[in-house]
Amino acid sequence: MSWEWGVIWQYLPRLLEGAWLTLELVLVSGLIGIALAIPLALMRASDNYWVKALPFLYIYFFRGTPLLVQIFLVYYGASQFDIIRESILWPVLKEAYWCAIIAFSLNTAAYSAELFRSAIQAIPVGELEAAEAVGMNRSLQIRRIVLPRAFGIALPAYGNEVILMLKGSALASTITLLDLTGAARTISARSYTNMEMYLAAGVIYLAISALIIGLFRFMEYRFNRYQYYNHVDTPKDLDPQLRDPHIDR
Amino acid sequence: MKMRKLFAVAALIAGSLVSAQSATAGDKIRIATEGAYAPFNMVDSNGELIGFDVEIAKALCAEMKADCEIVAQDWDGIIPGLRARKYDAIIASMSITEERLRVVDFSEKYYSNVLAYVTKDGSNIEVTKAGLKGKTVGAQRATIAGQFLEDNLGDVVDVKLYDTQDNAYLDLQAGRLDALLSDKFPAFDWLRTEEGAGYAFTGEDIDINDEIGIAVRKGDALSGKFSTAIKAIVADGTYAKINEKYFPFSIY
């Protein structure tokens, strides 16, 4: 089988355009997903059966069905109904771009909600008791203690979810979008250089993943700094009487 | 690696011996088709591949007295699959193009194709470059129609490419597409269905000198055998019989 490096350079601009759309899809649906996931997670962590029933069903549906099915339902499924085609939603649902955003957001919201739920429940009870002891009411507790702590706890797992979403976004190519995968497929469809194009696309996906991994490492370091061991040298001019004989010898 | 080559050579010699022994003895030929391109190739309710391409494939195999197996393969990967020896020939309404000829060989044509635009009845879209300006036009990815759109109208219309022809029809019905550019014969078939009611061909047919052939690997002698068999079934009337089951006019 012949191998043509040239086509990769020739079509690189189109692949990069696709990569940009991929990034956009992941970023926009990621942000919408978080916005949906936070209230869902709070409801899901509730003790009241009626409050947690709805998020439970939502999460069950979106985790229990393939993303491809969800995309097809939003894009090809919804458009089958006259009611939807004549509604005010149609200008949005008509666009493949927004259908992809909707499907990805709903999907990632379900996974993220479950992540945040477990993070909320992982917050040490003592911290909540302390908050109560100093007289914080429930909403202040959520704002000052529950959400910031849950964010830190969920961060590593959430980074994982973002990377899964990046790869899931390749399904946008099935609804006519020219994301990175869509661009690679369209180009190889006419140049018959599938191996070259998919290799190039794979490398670009790896680069984007590296970017996401780096970003999350940085955030983990910032927000979970207390988990990192920082050695601090004892100042040389410290009063000898303050020295701890067990540490500094 | 060496072992492999040895085996390959051994197989070649064995193969030529067998065919030298009896030219009529059946060799197993694996043929790929897509299965999503009605009425040429599609899957019936039992999961069997049917359609014009499939019947032609069977008629050709009968003519060549060959033992054939027909398999379904997604359009996107149909040429790579041939080159990877997953099967030996593609009978899937594939146009003979310069670009494809770089990577595969073709038999002579077994039918000729023209392109046509499909639009909603009464949409009054003029299917010229000026008339289509700013419109959304769809076609199947990796087809002559798709390439025609990209090459001739890519700068003025929003071209949407679909994985299957069926998905393109769905979006035409949904109103996401102003027009669909398609091979004429499958669209002719779709327009006769319930879903296709309310849609019609618009404008002149686009004759892009498009001949449909059987793709085989480069240098494979099968292309010649298929060409001879095509001429034989056209001459003895088998072809016409299959043709009239699908279209009221000759498509050869």
Residues of B in contact with A191 (CB under 8 A): 99
In a domain, B15, yes or no: no
In a domain, B11, yes or no: no
Spatial separation of the C-alpha atoms in residues B72 and B41, rounded to whole Å:
9
Flag whether pLDDT at B18 surpasses 70.
no
Question: How does DSSP assign B189-215, residue by residue?
Answer: HHHTSTTTTTEEEEEEEEEEEEEEEEE
- Quick one: how far is CA A137 from the chain centroid? 31
B71 and B90 share a domain? yes
Q: What is the per-residue pLDDT for B24?
A: 38
Q: Is B144 helix (H, G, I), strand (E, B) or coil?
A: helix
What is the total count of domains within chain B? 2
Spatial separation of the C-alpha atoms in residues B166 and B37, rounded to whole Å:
8
Phi, then psi, of B108 in degrees rounded to 5: -70, 165
CA distances from residue B213 to A12, A225, B8, B231 in whole angstroms, order as listed: 32, 66, 28, 13
In a domain, A231, yes or no: no
Hey, is the C-beta of B159 within 8 angstroms of any chain A C-beta? no
Q: Which residues contact A71 (CB under 8 A, 6 or more apart)?
A: A99, A100, A103, A171, A172, A174, A175
Q: Is A140 helix (H, G, I), strand (E, B) or coil?
A: helix
Question: Residue B141: which of A1, A79, A185 has the nearest Cβ?
Answer: A185
Q: Which residues contact B122 (CB under 8 A, 6 or more apart)?
A: none
B139 and B101 share a domain? no
Those of residues 193-232 in A touching chain B at CB distance below 8 A are: 194
Cα dihedral value A214, A219, A222, A227, nearest 10: -90
In a domain, B51, yes or no: yes
Rounded to 5°, angle at Cα B41 from B37 and B44: 105
Question: Residue A79: which of B102, B163, B174 has the nearest Cβ?
Answer: B174
Question: Residue A185: which of B76, B99, B174 has the nearest Cβ?
Answer: B76
Q: What is the per-residue pLDDT for B7?
A: 52
Q: What percent of chain B has pLDDT over 70?
A: 89
- Quick one: how far is CA B132 from the chain centroid? 27
Report whether B183 contacts B113 (CB < 8 A). yes
Range of the domain at B117: 113-209
When mean pLDDT is compared over A23-32, B19-28, B206-215, the highest value belongs to: A23-32
Radius of gyration for chain A, computed over Cα atoms and rounded to the nearest angstrom = 24
Spatial separation of the C-alpha atoms in residues B234 and B239, rounded to whole Å:
5
Burial of A41 (0-12, 13-18, 19+ CB in 10 A): buried
User: For residue A189, what are its two tokens?
Assistant: 């469809």
Q: Do A192 and B79 touch (CB under 8 A)?
A: yes
The model's pTM: 0.76
Cα dihedral value B128, B129, B135, B141, nearest 10: 90
User: The domain that contains A160 carries what CATH number?
Assistant: 1.10.3720.10
Quote the DSSP letter at residue B176.
Answer: S
Nearest residue on chain A to B137, judged by CA atoms? A176
In a domain, A42, yes or no: yes
Residues of A in contact with B171 (CB under 8 A): 76, 79, 176
Report whether A118 contacts A60 (CB < 8 A). no
B128 and B200 share a domain? yes
Spatial separation of the C-alpha atoms in residues A129 and A133, rounded to whole Å:
6
Q: How far apart are the first and last CA of chain A?
A: 69
Q: Do B162 and A176 touch (CB under 8 A)?
A: yes
User: For residue A1, what are its two tokens?
Assistant: 């089988």
Q: Looking at residues B22-50, what average pLDDT do you find?
A: 82
Q: What is the per-residue pLDDT for B25?
A: 40
Question: How does DSSP assign B100-112, residue by residue?
Answer: HHTTEEE-S-SEE
Flag whether pLDDT at B163 surpasses 70.
yes
Flag whether pLDDT at B3 surpasses 70.
no
User: B17: pLDDT confidence band, cut at 50, 70 and 90?
Assistant: very low
Spatial separation of the C-alpha atoms in residues A72 and B167, rounded to whole Å:
10
Q: Looking at residues B42-68, what average pLDDT do you find?
A: 94
B117 and B242 share a domain? no
Work out the mean pLDDT of chain B and round it to a whole number. 87
In a domain, B10, yes or no: no
Range of the domain at A125: 5-225
Q: Looking at residues B10-25, what average pLDDT do you find?
A: 44
CA distances from residue A213 to A206, B77, B230 in whole angstroms, order as listed: 10, 32, 58
Q: Is B160 helix (H, G, I), strand (E, B) or coil?
A: strand
Phi, then psi, of B117 in degrees rounded to 5: -90, 140
Residues of A in contact with B168 (CB under 8 A): none
B195 and B141 share a domain? yes
User: B11: pLDDT confidence band, cut at 50, 70 and 90?
Assistant: low
Q: Which residues of chain A have pLDDT under 70?
A: 1-2, 243-249
Q: What is the per-residue pLDDT for B4?
A: 53
User: B248: pLDDT confidence band, cut at 50, 70 and 90?
Assistant: confident
Flag whether pLDDT at B19 surpasses 70.
no
- B35: amino acid identity, one letter: G
Q: Do B175 and A1 touch (CB under 8 A)?
A: no
Residues of B in contact with A192 (CB under 8 A): 79-80, 99-100, 102-103
Those of residues 169-208 in B touching chain A at CB distance below 8 A are: 170-171, 173-176
Q: Which residues contact A96 (CB under 8 A, 6 or more apart)?
A: A75, A172, A175, A176, A177, B160, B176
- B252: amino acid identity, one letter: Y
Spatial separation of the C-alpha atoms in residues B128 and B118, rounded to whole Å:
13
B127 and B170 share a domain? yes
Spatial separation of the C-alpha atoms in residues A72 and A78, rounded to whole Å:
9
Chain segment B120-158, per-residue pLDDT in tens: 998 888 888 899 999 999 999 988 899 899 999 989 999
Question: How does DSSP assign A24-37, residue by residue?
Answer: HHHHHHHHHHHHHH
- B27: amino acid identity, one letter: D
What is the total count of domains within chain A? 1
Quote the DSSP letter at residue A236.
Answer: T
In a domain, B17, yes or no: no
Q: What is the per-residue pLDDT for A246?
A: 66
Report whether A5 contacts A144 (CB < 8 A). no
Quick count: other Cβ atoms within 10 Å of Cβ B190? 21
Quick count: other Cβ atoms within 10 Å of Cβ A105? 22
In a domain, B205, yes or no: yes
Distance to chain A for B236, nearest Cα, Å: 37
In a domain, B141, yes or no: yes
Quote the DSSP letter at residue B164.
Answer: S
B216 and B108 share a domain? yes
In a domain, A144, yes or no: yes
Q: Is B179 helix (H, G, I), strand (E, B) or coil?
A: strand
Q: Which residues contact A95 (CB under 8 A, 6 or more apart)?
A: none
In a domain, A238, yes or no: no
Flag whether pLDDT at B250 surpasses 70.
yes
User: The domain that contains B82 carries what CATH number?
Assistant: 3.40.190.10
Q: Do A192 and B147 touch (CB under 8 A)?
A: no
B159 and B35 share a domain? no
In a domain, B157, yes or no: yes
B64 and B89 share a domain? yes
